[in-house]
Structure 1
Amino acid sequence: MIIDSKIIVKNYKCFDSDVGGGFNKIVPINLIIGKNNSGKSSLIDLIQFLIDGNEIFINTGRDSKSAEVIVDYILNEKSVVRAFPANTGGGGIPGNHLEYGRQFIGKKYTYKLIGKGQKSFVNIETDFVSNAYSYFNQLANIIELPFAGKVFCNISAERDIIPELSEDKIIFSSNGAGTTNAIQGILNRTDKDSRLVEKTLLDELNKIVNPDILFTRILVQLDKGYWELFFEDNKQKRISLSKMGSGVKTVLLVLLNLVVRPKIENKNPSSYVFAFEELENNLHPSLQRRLYDYIKKYSKKHSAYFFLTTHSNVVIDSFGTDENSQLIHVSNDGDKSTCKTILSYNDAKQILNDLGIKASDILQSNGVIWVEGPSDRNFINKWIEILNPELKEGLHYVIMFYGGKLLSNLSFDFEWLKKEVIPLLKINRNAYVVIDRDGKNINAKLNETKIRIQEEIGEERCWITKGREIENYLSDATLTNWFRNKHKVKVEIINKKDIKLEDNILNTDTKVKFKYNLNKTIHSSEIVEFIDESSLDVLDLKQNLNQLIEAIMTWNE
């Protein structure tokens, strides 16, 4: 599904005629992030132009000039064979023309869109004889445009669902106009299957809004000539959509386009390119997470492309590490906008600055698992994934670091107001803490800080490792397989439970000079590849994991 073509628009609205802005590639889920008026919507316009070729786009340039769309395309054999004729020679082109053309397979070919579906040759990254120019020019119109044959489906940032007069047509608009009439038409017309709304749409809606609310029925009623949407909950309470918050309207609009529209238009969901703008408006972070998680699963199931503009940090949590997603940061210096695909920590930090993210945003998380550092996070996420793959970090819980020695300055006692102590339950009442025992043996007495923390938060929300550190829960087989496959050392690692993992590795063989603690985060991310369910029967690991999972389930009702 990855489209490796680089697509840039120049001289359009906030994008200048020099650098422009766009995409280095297209992946299934493309997140466009930036401040207001930075140029996010202009990138949505670019995607729409690729699909429908709207000439208004080309004619809406800066300084009374036409906009330019430039595409870098990697030539494949299929396009070259179509452009360069076989069994043809001469004309100033060396040898057989097709064989001459084959040398350009895999090369970057640049063309420009000039409106009305027409393209023109700009450049190719290698030399060619001038007599072959006509073939390269012909290539431009042979190459298939990105999203050829797709349907553009947009939800704009300004949207609403209101009572409407009855109409015969069922339409799907970007601003929500026609939504009420579309639903009443499906429910009331004999040529439509009402179960599409009564059952399918309702079930999908509940997947997202539950557990905040559970709808048992969706219906329309006529009031003073206008159709109005109503919902009934599990207490048989009926309320009109117009009296609900705009969050439910947004979710309904998304589902109408994802679930209902393909059925009504008799198209496969993969036929659409979905462009949804600022879905987070008036959505609580927990509802955002469920909605974005739904989109992620939908994209994977139906091989559908999404372009999502947003100001929300929840997007970064939901998609930042997803292999099928990319973050495009759009920024404006007051004169022009530029785009950057986020690949580094510094880039991500700039996004957070632009979005105005503060540490207090953790207040909105469903629950927080406090661990000593990043390596602990890697292990816990993997263990949770094995025992309950439905639970996802960023959606059902977040993991925060307290950093070892800082533990003595932390408190889970909500009423403890000493200035030198940070009351973590004030940050989020749904908390769970994982602490390394750090004793020289399994029966070693806990220090006063760890005893205090356990008493404050409660034993059912505090996991103190039975071994010396969390790494002692790693099985001998897991560590041996990791060391042999990742570091090409054939030794048998015995992970003694009262000794640090680094020392266990060093004690394996006098020739091994491996410092695990120097790169714990990197090494832990390697080790999790070799953890499976059979490796969880170590000490009290499963017991504590089940207790942790129970806590997460409680946080998420």
Structure 2
Amino acid sequence: MLIKELQLKGWRSYSEEGISLKNLNKINLLIGPNNIGKSNLLKYLLSLRTIFPEGNDSWEEKDMSFFRINEEDRWLYNTQTVEFKVKLEGLPEHSFINRNQDEVKLQVSHNLKGKNSEFSMIEPTHLNEIKATIFWRHFVSNHIRFIGDVRGFFYDTAGNLDVHIDGKKILEYLLKKVDGEEDWIRNYEDKMSKWLKDILLEEQLVFEFIPDTHHPDFSITIIRGVEKEQIKLRPRQLGTGVAHLVLILTTLHACSHRKINIFLEEPEMNLHPHSVNTLTRIFKEDFPNHRFFIFTHSNVWLDQIDKEYSVYNFFKKEDGSTNCLNCTESRDYYPIFENLGIKPSQLLLSNFNIWIEGPSDRIYLNQWIKEYSKGSLIEGKHYSFIMYGGTNLSHYDLVFDNVINILSTGYNAAIICDSDLSKKRDTIKERVQKLKDRIAEKELEDYVMLWITEGREIENYIVKELFEQIFRTEFGKSYFKYKNKRVNLYFVEEGIGEVFEANFSYDDFFVKIYQFDKNEVRTQFKDYIKSEYDFENIISDLEKKRQGVLKDISKVEIAKAIVSKWNVTPNNMIYDLNQRMVQLVNKIEIANR
């Protein structure tokens, strides 16, 4: 029986509103910061195992209502009831359910006041409490497996490897298989040899179970080199990661004949990203009966997201309770972002995402955040940038529609857009207005900061004198070529006399600082000038060349030069920059509490 959806309320950090996991898939990733409450789900299921031990296949009637939970396990010691609901699919033939029934919905309520538990079946409703409890027992005992990290391994006093998996010693389990089930053991060894060979990138590898009654163990023989040298090792000699792989794969193979819900805590521990990728493929291809619930902090799992994945992002609400957002709907949009160089892990693992149009925006914002937070906020730790602009953005509206869908499943973000105002247009572009409307439609204003620049673009927040200074000292352009001749450029020492207004284009405005001498041009190109009309045409061509001078200079390099010389204070902020930075830094700080 596979879990199709579940809901848990009133348990530990889960309030009376609780958490809900729906649209479960082949691989389900549970993500979120440390100590956020992800593992409380696991701890609840483990508490059920205390009354429903593993491997109980009996459908015998027995009253289990005496099950108790500890009072300290309830939400803030306030709730009187802990409630767990689960919808199951893929039902076993030998059950109380009609064979035409595709799924069932179970519920258990633990009443702290009455000190009892009621196991029931919500759909269908024809089972009495005792039979419903038996169904519960069969589900918990036979269709849930827990695989911890490598700490599931330990060594006895003789130094032999012993493994506990979900309360069962796997070595003892394998010893029983040896007696009369040689074919099963041979198949197991062949499978393990293939899996480990692929994961460890070995050309030849042989895995064996050593059925010593007193000291059972595993061995791995690696065959390398032209001489086919054999290196025989025990898993512990190959490192913690290999021992962990043996633990995981042996457990999965031992229950591969059943529909099992597999709960794994950080299976990526001690594994190389290639090993995690290969392990994922093995999960999908070789264990069709299993549904995986993976508690992880790893970007490697997230960056493999496809149609067989669901993602659940756990976060803490203002009252301290744990909630989770179902990111499944957004999964379909990840390929679009992959084309823009954005990985799913960037969207889901960062505490705060800042969506920007280009790399120069990142340089300015990093400097401003540093100044306004007094250096306490650090990129990569407290916030991350995601770039949505550039020539890749051929379907701008489509991408922003999908950005909204992403934001709906993971709050704590800011989107920074150039208004692109100009002398010909005094209102924001249609695509930016659409984004603003979509945020309002999804009621995301309280979570997502939309910053539309008051000026044309982010460069309009920079004071004119600073631009003139860095162009004079660091980006002096001395000439360009025209008709194979060198046309000299001269820097306007007194600066540009005009005001750098909000709707001016940065490129078009500051290129005025570079000028050429018309008299010098007339002398240089006298062979091409037969009339004043020819001269005016040459001047027109040179003006077009001059207009492109700044486009030849990297905006990133200009931004680096600007921030190196700008002592950012509220006094030298223009337009709404001070107000916006206070707002942005405040949101980042809240997201990191």
Which band: TM-score by shorter chain?
Answer: 0.3 to 0.5
Find the structure with the greater CA-based Rg.
2
